[in-house]
Amino acid sequence: MEIINSRVAALRALSAPQWYALVVGAFLLIRGTTTLIAGADFSLPGSGWRAVPQVLVALLLLAALPRPAVAWRAVLAVGCLYAAEAVIGNLDGGDILGVIPVDARDRVVHPTLAVLALLAVLARFRRRG
């Protein structure tokens, strides 16, 4: 029971950026890895070119997770990346710079990840006072 209590306490101690890094990092790692395993296409634009950055961003977030000072910076960078992807994807139409395909799901996921990252970073500063 002590192990469970210590893990619950550790989860409660996570900052908003650390929660973002954990949840979004896991989401992107699963999404990117399953796309690659399913046989991603590396033509232009191709799903492989979407999956590889997802895995890399996930690894960045998960690597930053243990240290709050690093986590918020990584979350801010990821938020800026996804904000740029949201804008470029809408301007370019069906892809980002002719390489990464953008579908209806991405038009929701990219701005959502950007806004959640911004909120997580703002919550970190609000919490610190």
Give 10-residue mean pLDDT values along the chain (129 residues): 68 88 97 90 81 95 96 97 91 80 88 96 77
At residue 6, the pLDDT reads 66
31: burial class by Cβ within 10 Å (0-12, 13-18, 19+)?
middle
Q: How far apart are CA 18 and CA 89, in angstroms?
A: 27
Residue 8 has a pLDDT of 66
Per-residue pLDDT, 10: 65
> What 3-state DSSP class applies to 13?
coil
- Which pLDDT value is given to residue 7? 66
